[in-house]
């Protein structure tokens, strides 16, 4: 029995947007689905992996995922690829070239934009890629839309012969609504059609495709004007009309229920003439879109008088409250919705808790060590849970830009440091999945250019930040079946790092780790340190018996607190004066034993030996290293 496929055809079930997309991909008869995990898109492939009759697989990065999907499309099958917005940057090389050649079997690319930056380093608008690559964009507003538009995307892809981008946002991906589902209908087999003039992207072949791309643009524009995915939500107040897309369309409808809303389903090409006709029925036109004013600009270019970002915020989600206040202020009747809210800030009734690593996380010790070497090092970080190493109490990260950039940026830092930084060691910190995603090329470049960088590969055997997905370094595939596992030690050596400069270490052996990092940062060549403990949130982690603080022995030195482990709490603070007359802050600690994983790292920082087993007979590893 499969709970997903047992849903009655025509029945309604509660799905998130991600689950709805997955269901529609399965219903479309797609043969292959690929992805690299990234919030807010991760659950699409995780859900697809639970359906039969479709091959779902994680790829090492988004470019690889898209290229695999392209290959399946060229073989005549329907194929699907999912990623978050910054992932499409990685896949852009394949996207831009294949967009010109087109596809054979239907090819749908779901891109999830993190509007509001809930878990991303930027708020880019993926709709730009449709204009850049001459590809159609569909933009659902909620889960039922996501389901229906995914099905429509496959049909459109095969009708026009090009990939289709399904632009999602965090609110669509994660909010659940009732969705009416259908059955799986496998399309007829198309097979591979050998056509080197189309599929081999030589300059002469690509040049010949440009006129066909122009013809396709015209076809897509005509289809967009008549698309059933665009609907009119009528209203009695004709003083204003709204053109909106995505979840902002639903917010607009709720915020201004009497105002007509033209809800766009296909947002590129923009149905300009349909909007022009709508504009004639209202006194003023407001474009509501997240986040860039793309539709607004195209309508202005077409000669329409519209409002948009002159009225609405340029960043963040366009919620009901935001729209009500913005439109009321624009109309001059802000009092009708109350005073403008104060700038967002911490709720004084809620104790502030910044994001931090988990209790016993194997990344705690590396950043504790780096924090102790802070004055003598420059630290280039990467994307993962360990990015939190930039925060309190470690403050042990100087840069973090994108996946895999830690080593390449470290190389630049090492080559160009000067002044008081000239003698500082340069350290790169990267996780196992990120290293496989886009870090290997950076290490190759370090070795090739004889850089003076120490690389820390923090191997916790999962893609931890997005929920514990598998990758080639875990030894398992998306279904939990055993798969070949990368040997990081052998891989790093094969890439040219000298064998005596490659080390594997248990991060919970804190003194050993500290000594190793300090020693390797003093060696003027590439060296690699690999930590080898699994994420504490996976079943690969083996927790040890918990620890406690003997309160009468605690001197308030604060060493354990500086590890950053959230299981360690400050019970009280005191100020004392040393014999030399200096003021010293003391922080007395306790360990939440129910939260403690017994990793032993804090024991190594405790000068008075005040940290002991909660149950002495059950903790064989408490000896100091």
Peptide bond into 291 cis (omega under 30): yes
The radius of gyration of the chain from alpha carbons, rounded to an integer in Å, stands at: 28
Has 565 been labeled as part of a binding site? Answer: yes
Residue with tokens 């698309």: 227
Q: What is the largest CA-CA distance in the chain?
A: 86
Of 295, 304, 305, 284, nearest in space to 249 by CA: 295
Residue-wise over 108-146: b if at least 16 C-beta within 10 A, else e?
A: bbbbbbbbbeeebeebbbbbebbeebbbbbbbbbbbbbb
Beta bridge partners of 12: 180
**326's tokens:** 């913005």
Residue with tokens 């004055």: 375
Has 369 been labeled as part of a binding site? Answer: no
Q: How far apart are CA 128 and CA 145, in angstroms?
A: 21
Distance of alpha carbon 225 from its chain centroid, rounded? 33
Q: Which alpha helices (H) appear in 118-271, and where do they start and end?
A: 127-133, 143-160, 170-174, 196-199, 203-225, 247-255
Q: Which is it for strands 176-180 and 12-16: parallel, antiparallel or unpaired?
A: antiparallel
Has 554 been labeled as part of a binding site? Answer: yes
Has 596 been labeled as part of a binding site? Answer: yes
Q: What are the C-alpha distances in Å from 520 to residues 316, 418, 517, 528, 545?
A: 44, 21, 5, 8, 33
Has 402 been labeled as part of a binding site? Answer: no
Q: How far apart are CA 175 and CA 129, in angstroms?
A: 25
Has 560 been labeled as part of a binding site? Answer: yes
What size, in residues, is the chain? Answer: 625
- 430 φ, ψ (degrees, to nearest 5): -145, 150
Q: Which is it for strands 107-113 and 164-169: parallel, antiparallel or unpaired?
A: parallel
Instruction: Give the DSSP H/E element, type plus range, for residue 286.
Output: strand 285-288
Q: How far apart are CA 35 and CA 54, in angstroms?
A: 14
Residues making up the binding site for [4Fe-4S] cluster: 554, 557, 560, 565, 596, 599, 602, 606
Residues making up the binding site: 554, 557, 560, 565, 596, 599, 602, 606
């Amino acid at each position: 029995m499969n709970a997903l496929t047992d849903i009655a055809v025509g029945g309604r079930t509660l799905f998130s947007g991600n689950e709805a997309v997955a269901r529609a991909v399965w219903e479309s008869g797609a043969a292959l689905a690929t992805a690299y995990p990234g919030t807010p898109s991760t659950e699409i492939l995780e859900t697809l992996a639970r359906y039969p009759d479709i091959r779902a697989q994680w790829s090492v990065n988004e470019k690889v995922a898209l290229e695999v999907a392209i290959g399946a499309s060229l073989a005549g099958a329907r194929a699907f690829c999912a990623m978050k917005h910054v992932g499409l940057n990685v896949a852009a090389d394949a996207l831009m070239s294949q967009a010109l050649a087109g596809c054979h079997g239907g090819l749908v690319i779901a891109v999830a934009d993190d509007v509001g930056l809930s878990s991303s380093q930027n708020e880019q608008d993926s709709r730009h890629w449709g204009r850049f690559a001459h590809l159609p964009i569909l933009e659902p507003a909620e889960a039922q839309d996501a389901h229906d538009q995914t099905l429509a995307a496959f049909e459109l892809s095969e009708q026009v012969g090009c990939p289709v981008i399904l632009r999602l946002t965090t609110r669509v991906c994660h909010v659940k609504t009732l969705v009416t589902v259908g059955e799986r209908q496998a399309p007829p087999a198309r097979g591979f059609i050998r056509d080197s003039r189309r599929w081999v992207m030589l300059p002469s072949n690509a040049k010949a495709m440009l006129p066909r791309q122009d013809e396709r643009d015209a076809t897509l524009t005509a289809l967009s004007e008549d698309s059933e995915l665009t609907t009119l939500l009528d209203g009695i107040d004709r003083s204003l009309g709204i053109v909106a897309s995505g979840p902002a369309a639903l917010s607009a409808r709720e915020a201004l229920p009497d105002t007509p809303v033209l809800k766009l389903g296909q947002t590129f090409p923009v149905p300009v003439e349909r909007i022009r006709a709508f504009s004639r029925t209202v006194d003023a036109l407001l474009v509501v879109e997240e986040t860039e004013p793309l539709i607004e600009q195209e309508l202005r270019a077409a000669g329409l008088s519209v409002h948009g970002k002159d009225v609405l915020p340029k960043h963040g989600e366009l919620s009901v409250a935001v729209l009500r206040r913005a439109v009321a202020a624009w109309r001059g009747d802000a009092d009708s919705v109350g005073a403008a809210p104060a700038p967002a800030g911490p709720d004084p009734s809620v104790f502030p808790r910044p994001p931090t690593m988990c209790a016993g996380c194997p990344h705690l010790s590396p950043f504790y060590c780096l924090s102790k070497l802070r004055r003598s090092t420059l630290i280039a970080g990467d994307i993962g849970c360990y990015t939190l190493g930039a925060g309190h109490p470690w403050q042990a990260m100087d840069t973090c830009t994108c996946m895999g950039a830690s080593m390449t940026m470290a190389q630049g830092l090492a080559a160009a440091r000067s002044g008081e930084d000239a003698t500082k060691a340069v350290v790169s910190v990267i996780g196992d999945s990120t290293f496989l995603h886009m870090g290997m090329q950076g290490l190759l470049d370090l070795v090739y250019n004889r850089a003076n960088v120490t690389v820390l590969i923090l191997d916790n055997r999962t893609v931890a930040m997005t929920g514990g997905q598998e990758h080639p370094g875990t030894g398992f595939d998306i279904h939990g079946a055993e798969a070949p596992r990368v040997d990081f030690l052998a891989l790093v050596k094969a890439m040219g790092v000298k064998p005596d400069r490659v080390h594997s270490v248990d991060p919970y052996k804190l003194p050993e780790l500290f000594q190793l990092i300090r020693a390797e940062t003093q060696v003027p060549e590439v060296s690699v340190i690999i930590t080898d403990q699994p994420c504490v949130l996976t079943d690969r982690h083996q927790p040890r018996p918990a620890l406690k603080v003997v309160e009468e022995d605690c001197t308030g030195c604060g060493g354990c607190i500086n590890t950053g482990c959230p299981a360690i709490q400050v019970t009280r603070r005191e100020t004392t004066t040393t014999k030399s007359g200096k003021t010293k802050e003391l922080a007395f600690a306790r360990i939440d034993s129910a939260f403690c994983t017994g990793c032993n790292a804090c024991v190594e920082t405790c000068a008075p030996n005040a940290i002991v087993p909660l149950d002495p007979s059950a903790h064989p590893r408490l000896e100091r290293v």
